[in-house]
Amino acid sequence: MMRKCHVIILLLAIVVASSSCHKETLPHTERTRGLVKELLTKLDSTDVYAAKKEKEVELLKKRLPGETIEETYSLYYDIAMVFSHNVADSAIMYLEKAVQVAQLSGIDSLSQEAQIGLAAQLSEYGYYLEAHETFASVAREKLTGKLLVRYYRAMELFYSNKYTDYNEPGNLRKKYREQYNIYRDSLLMVADTMSIEYLRGIERKEARAGNYARARRYNDLRLSILEDHHSAAYATCLYDRFAIAYLYERKLTGEAFDDLLQSAILEVENNNQDIASLLRVESLLNSINEVEAAKKISDYYFSSLQRLGSKKRVVDGVEQTIKINDSNTRLIEKKNRQLWVAITLISILLISFVQALLKINRSRLKIIGLKNNLERSDRISKSYIGVAFRLYSSYIKRLDVFRTKIHSSLRKGHVEQALELTSPSGEIASEERRELFQNFDRAFVDIFPNYIEVVNSCLKPDQKIVPKRTEILSNELRILALIKLGIEDNTEIASMLHCSVKTVQNLRSILKARLAVTEEQFKNAISGL
């Protein structure tokens, strides 16, 4: 009998250990693990970075209005640029104020600069119609020098956003891609060959042509020009370097992954709410089942999109949200299956102990020798099944919380299609809860076959509990079962049974009223099973 128990315990250990084996990995360097840890730590300090951004804005606002109309215009424009990757509505509002001031000044170059900036931000946030109308108000024939460079860069951005928008029809996206190439080449013709605009444009062109080594050389030149290695521009350059390897060359290296992680860290430090690098990190971690880290990044990413208020970014992120949701669901289902195997093995272990107890009862001498060990084993076994039940209940609750959170996040983004896809119907959780209760009831009754009979023997004749055909234990019997396993706190019982504390209190009160014996006698009868 003891040899049989040892075999069962060994099987249980193998099941538990198997859940931590065979984890996939990503290409990495000696720095990678530290960078991932640093990024997750930075996400806990976002309030500090947000406060720095707010202080920067407040300092600019205090200088309003400027001593000249040009200075007032510059202040409005600078405030808008601070908000450009932080709060979309504020960025647009201050750009519109800059446009108004520029028009009042009568200086064509200021007015055109403001309109180009406004159009660029509108297209970046997905307001394509408004952006197109604003571009139409720019006198293209009057643009020269830096204004012409800005115009071509803004038009390039506009068509880049259009052809990468999967809500657009395929034939139109092809035309938008052609327009993007035209404006990109126009930008390369007029921009200074040592400017960031030129270097980034030629870098991307070489990467798309398959000239990866040349693209990296242009990226190296960009990095060398940027003096501030903690700036958002430096973060963008690092992300573009990652993109050359991952998006164009289709080859992820440890160095490229490090570039991506550094980019995400800098974006968080700069309180950038539009973090493409963070979405990539989330996707890569999720691909190797690092679900907890991916979920933490996902939570921050989608909350940042809400703060940004860009409808384009929210729509772009829907597909990734569904992937994360599916991944979490698969992981929970896998753990549920493992728990069910563990519960089954524990149940067999408990039954084995009960059988051993019956055999031992036939011999008084054996009872004296094994009594203490059996009592201890019985307590451990009951504890195991209680722990397993808590874990199973926890996973169901986490699934409900996750679905509700995703639903809430997307609702605020006004994405109807995503809202419908991720609406928390509760069907999965309900099914899992029903299966959990059935498995628990079956195991408990197998271990304590006279349980219902003993309970009813303590109740008034007309107050006996008879479970429905579709259930093994009723809610009242299940509460008493948990109490027998040592779980007596109403709050904990309510959490495990997914009902209110008031419901548990009411059921316990009703049971007391139905007793035909004293509470002490009832407790002794239950504990004596």
Residue, of 86 and 320, whose pLDDT is higher: 86
Q: Tell me the per-residue pLDDT of 284-324, one tens digit each, with 9 for 90 and over.
A: 887 777 878 888 887 887 788 777 766 566 555 555 555 55
Own/partner contacts of 39-43, CB < 8 Å, gap of 24 or more, are 39/261, 39/264, 39/265, 39/268, 39/281, 39/297, 40/293, 40/296, 40/297, 42/265, 42/268, 42/269, 43/268, 43/296, 43/297, 43/300
- End-of-domain residue from the set 444, 459, 482: 444
Q: Please give the average per-residue pLDDT across 222-251, as a whole number.
A: 93
Q: How many domains does the chain have?
A: 3
Give the mean pLDDT of the chain.
80
Q: Is residue 293 part of a domain?
A: no
> For residue 477, what pLDDT band results from cuts at 50, 70 and 90?
confident
Q: Do 184 and 60 sit in the same domain of this protein?
A: yes
Q: Please give the average per-residue pLDDT across 490-495, as a whole number.
A: 86
Q: Specify the pLDDT at position 375.
A: 60
Q: Tell me the per-residue pLDDT of 415-428, one tens digit each, with 9 for 90 and over.
A: 664 555 455 555 55
Q: Tell me the per-residue pLDDT of 354-385, one tens digit each, with 9 for 90 and over.
A: 676 667 666 566 556 545 555 645 654 555 56
Whether pLDDT at 327 is above 80:
no
Q: Do 339 and 462 sit in the same domain of this protein?
A: no
Q: Do 361 and 319 sit in the same domain of this protein?
A: yes
Q: Specify whether the CB–CB gap between 315 and 126 falls below 8 A.
A: yes
> For residue 276, what pLDDT band results from cuts at 50, 70 and 90?
confident
Q: Do 9 and 67 sit in the same domain of this protein?
A: no
Q: Specify whether the CB–CB gap between 120 and 157 falls below 8 A.
A: yes
Q: Do 518 and 473 sit in the same domain of this protein?
A: yes
Q: Where are the alpha helices (DSSP H) in 413-426?
A: 416-421
Query: Phi and psi (nearest 5°) for 459?
Result: -100, 160
Reduce the DSSP state of residue 492 to 3 states and report it.
helix
> For residue 201, what pLDDT band results from cuts at 50, 70 and 90?
very high
Q: Please give the average per-residue pLDDT across 328-335, as a whole number.
A: 63
Q: Is residue 26 part of a domain?
A: no
Q: Provide CB contacts within 8 A for 435, sequence distance 6+.
A: none
Q: Do 323 and 398 sit in the same domain of this protein?
A: yes
Whether pLDDT at 36 is above 80:
yes
Beta strands in 165-221 (DSSP E): none
Q: Is residue 242 part of a domain?
A: no
* Amino acid code (one letter) for 117: G
Reduce the DSSP state of residue 289 to 3 states and report it.
coil
79, 262, 307, 403, 471 from 434: Cα distances, Å = 55, 46, 39, 18, 10
Question: Inter-axis angle of helices 254-269 and 276-287, to 10 degrees?
Answer: 130
Closest CA to 180 of 199, 203, 205, 155: 155
Q: Do 383 and 428 sit in the same domain of this protein?
A: yes
- Print the domain residue range for 1: 1-16+309-444
Q: Please give the average per-residue pLDDT across 218-242, as a whole number.
A: 93
Q: Is residue 527 part of a domain?
A: yes
Which two tokens mark 71? 């200075």
Count the Cβ atoms, other than its own, within 10 Å of residue 87. Answer: 19
13, 116, 182, 187, 236 from 145: Cα distances, Å = 72, 14, 18, 11, 25
Count the Cβ atoms, other than its own, within 10 Å of residue 269. Answer: 18
